[in-house]
Amino acid sequence: MGSASKMPRRKWCQRVMGLALSASPLTALASPVSSLFPSAAAANKSKNEESASQQKDHQKEVRQLVVEPQESEEVLSNPGMGWQTFHCFANEDRTLEGLPSSCAYFRFMWKELEPEEGRINYDFMDGLLERAARAGQTLAFRIMNCGTDEAHPSYSPKWLEARGITFFSYHYDKSGPFTTPDLDSPRCLDYHLRLIHLLGERYDGHPLVDHVDIGSVGLWGEWHMAGTSVSMPRPETCQKIIDAHLTAFPKTPKLMLIGGDQVLLPGGQNALQYAVGKGAGWRADCLGDLGGFSPAWNHMRDYYPKAIERGKAQDAWKFAPVAFESCWDMRKWVQEGWDVRYIFDYALDYHASYLNNKSAPLPSGVRTEIERFLRRLGYRLVLRKAQFPEVCSQSLNIHLQFENVGVAPPYRDYFLCLRLQNPSRSVTVPTTVSVKGWLPGPREVSLNLPLPSLPADSYALSLSIISPYDKQPFIQLANKGVDLDLWLKLGTVRIVRE
């Protein structure tokens, strides 16, 4: 399951990691589309200049081939979506039991990232990105200033104390004491904003950084201090931390914690509403709670719908990802007798792209439901129909009908690409058509592409969706017949030279 997609993606991640390590900053990975695909830009110009009557005349002259590829039921491992591993990678996580995973999710303590003042532990971050690449995954992360791990009473670096920063002490559920720094202190806030800025300076737009949570505030970066005696930072402080993430990571998808709906900012908006209004998606960390805290209240019925409404986040999924994390993990759901399909469908109804089950063992009897869920989570692009001429000379006029049968769009630019191949030659014809923003439902694409200089002969015509970073196939179409290199053969065209 998913085997056709794993090896090409792992190779791609390793190639991109090599580019990233050789580029400082990542200029090689941030080229404009027109410079990445010059021939495709010319194709777009040609398409715009060709009149509709010319296209119709051309179609009349040449017999048109129509193919309707079959849809696949394979569970795919495409970028920017899917089942996340937690604090480990897919090649290490035995709890996956063969499930595909394209994204590893980590939460970092401030002291891990900046153990010495002003010196970011880039070796630590780069090492994780290298491990992600070897596993064929990308990396998503959140910063935390405090939590409830008794092995780490303080999540923040010790050098803050030497700078005279005040720490507040608290207990949580009979454990502790733990401490959290005073983010309202101007010096402490400056230190933390510098951390966010430096991380963004190095990693924003990195192709192996999948998304960044807007964290930092509250327990585990979840934007609340529930169960403690410590107050949340002032509204002005909270807004500065949100703005720092937005400014530091303009190219990277960002997710606001849903708990931000409880934090009022200076302008009158709550933190969730403010971040979503600036282009962020959202994340909720207790999917599956149907009464684990109280028989009279649960997250899924009593909190999430109201929080999303308060945050005006109903349509955030159309431009940024939605992510869920299991409450406890799936074993608790099964032990309590909660309806697993209902829980999964709840996430799908909110157009989720990710689920993190904390890399916990899967309970027995749920595999079928998980696979059903993963076939709709995020985006899933199916080619329904392709029409193109049997014979062509200077250009290829092709019409493609797709359907996104998932619940969300892709949130990054990946581009349609055609390939002409026979035993003697293989030439790719990239386009500037990106699948970014393709919402669920049908999508039609018509292209008139200048053909490369090829000898008159017959060529297999194939389609793929490529990465802009190295122009190699990266997204697997949900069609039968996709080969191990992620190309889908459409048919055969004959090139003639006039």
CA 257 to chain centroid: 16
Please answer whether residues 181 and 156 qualify as being in contact, where contact means their C-beta atoms are separated by less than 8 angstroms.
yes
352: closest CA among 375, 377, 381?
A: 377
Architecture of domain 31-73+380-495: Sandwich (2.60)
Averaged pLDDT in 10-residue chunks for the chain of 498 residues: 50 66 46 43 43 47 91 97 98 96 98 98 98 97 98 98 97 96 98 98 97 98 97 98 98 98 97 98 98 97 98 98 98 98 98 98 97 98 98 95 98 98 96 98 97 94 96 96 97 91
Architecture of domain 82-374: Alpha-Beta Barrel (3.20)
The pTM assigned to this predicted structure is: 0.91
Q: How many CB atoms lie within 10 A of CB 381?
A: 23
477: closest CA among 365, 402, 424, 419?
A: 402
Q: 216: buried, middle or exposed (CB in 10 Å: 19+, 13-18, 0-12)?
A: buried
446: closest CA among 410, 398, 380, 497?
A: 398
The pLDDT assigned to 211 comes to 98
Please answer whether residues 359 and 412 qualify as being in contact, where contact means their C-beta atoms are separated by less than 8 angstroms.
no
72 vs 479: CA distance, rounded Å: 5
The pLDDT assigned to 18 comes to 66
The pLDDT assigned to 391 comes to 96
Report which secondary-structure segment, H or E, holds 144. Answer: strand 138-144
Residue 66: beta bridge partners? Answer: 387
171 vs 394: CA distance, rounded Å: 73
Place of tokens 């081939």: 65
| Domain limits, the chain | 31-73+380-495, 82-374
Task: Using only the alpha carbons of the chain, give its radius of gyration.
Answer: 25
